[in-house]
Amino acid sequence: MLKTIQPVHFIISFTILFYALFFASGCKKEDNNNISDIFYVRHAGADIPAYLYGSKQNNVFIITLHGGPGDNGLEMRQGNAAAELEKRYVMVYWDQRGQGLSEGKFSANDITIDLMAEDLQALILVLKHKYGNNIKLFLLGHSWGGELGTAFLLKNNYQHQLKGWIEVDGAYDIPKVNIEVVGKIIKDGNEQINLGNSTEKWEELIEQVKNIDTNNISITEGRELNKKARIAQKYLFKDDITQKPQSVTWRDAGIFYHEDFLTAAVSGSWFYVLNNSFYNEIETASYSDKLCKITIPTLLLWGKYDFIVPPALGRNAFKLTGSEDKKLVIFNKSSHSPMNNQPEEFVDEIIQFVEGHQ
């Protein structure tokens, strides 16, 4: 009898301990200043989770727009930059429609950038409903998030709900991105060859792109260029041209634990890669001609060695954006994600911008 009871006691004890730890770690932590909140926004057939972390002391909420499409909101929380920003502001991370842990039921044909801009507007309405109309909202979009953010700012009068727009290596004009990627691989590749860095690899990469007709880049070629851009960034990373991101912290591991990479990957594939109509819309979207309509304060942050969305896009946005209050910052040791390569400088720029415009 004793032999039977002992293992059962063991199992019960461990189970209780296990769940006590998990539920203790999951308790909502909120005091006067700090906030840790999760809620869902149900809009047009989608159930979109939003994760809020940070300090309410300034009543500033920075809504992040993750990249991809196909990534998830909490990826934007990884790294020291987000941790530092959370000390001053409430960072709003959310899984866009059909991505991350976002659920719902809708037709692939119904998905448009416009609908996703409306999702963002729904999120803003909920934030105001929950935290009051006096919250100070900023929008921070990275990569694809920069494209979505631009679409949002240009829709209706939405931009005037925001105190400012932070565009981080944003892909607001994919046809132009493709052209600039070809030019950057050739130009920067030759520079690296002259410096004696990964010479053979750069020669091979240049050989692959030099005959592309930049006046007529197809969507398929665009996808290939995106892959080559990532390869180019790897060479620079290997040769220490770009700054290595800081090593993964326990906080990052905890955030990764909250994500669900399998669901996110499959869901994102259905949503974007296997959805021709939406994919084509994204890959042909060009907002350069409409940037003059964006008049709110704008901060453009770009990595000098961003091959995925080259810094020429940043310079173009700086020139064309209608805002009188705008700033372009090129990070000299960064590629597509300056928040990972140069988190301190990245955070400094954002704090300076937010403090000046809240």
Spatial separation of the C-alpha atoms in residues 123 and 44, rounded to whole Å: 12
Contact between 267 and another protein by CB under 8 A: the answer reads yes
Residues 6+ apart with CB under 8 A from 21: none
Q: Which member of 30, 114, 130, 210 binds another protein (CB under 8 A)? A: 130
Please report whether residue 190 would count as binding another protein according to CB under 8 A.
no
- The SS3 assignment for 28 reads coil
Residues 6+ apart with CB under 8 A from 143: 67, 68, 168, 169, 170, 171, 308, 309, 336
Is residue 134 at the binding interface for another protein, with CB under 8 A as the rule?
no
Note whether 275 binds another protein by CB under 8 A: yes
- CB 282 to another protein: min, Å: 15
Size of the chain, expressed as the number of residues it contains: 358
Using the rule CB under 8 A, is 159 a contact of another protein? no
d(CA 217, CA 294): 28
The answer to whether 42 contacts another protein (rule: CB under 8 A) is yes
Q: Considering the complex, what minimum distance in angstroms separates the CB of residue 215 from another protein?
A: 34
Helix (H/G/I), strand (E/B), else coil: 142:
strand
Write out the binding residues for another protein, residues 51-80 only, by CB under 8 A: 51
Q: Does 2 bind another protein (CB under 8 A)?
A: no
Task: State which of residues 101, 151, 182, 212 lies at the interface with another protein (CB under 8 A).
Answer: 101
Closest by alpha carbon to 233, among 185, 290, 288?
Answer: 185
Strand partners, 328: 300
**Residues of the shown chain interacting with another protein in the complex, contacts defined by CB under 8 A:** 1, 3-4, 6-7, 10-11, 14-15, 17-19, 21-22, 25-26, 38-43, 46-47, 49, 51, 97-98, 101-108, 111, 121-122, 125-126, 129-130, 257-258, 260, 262-263, 266-267, 270-271, 274-275
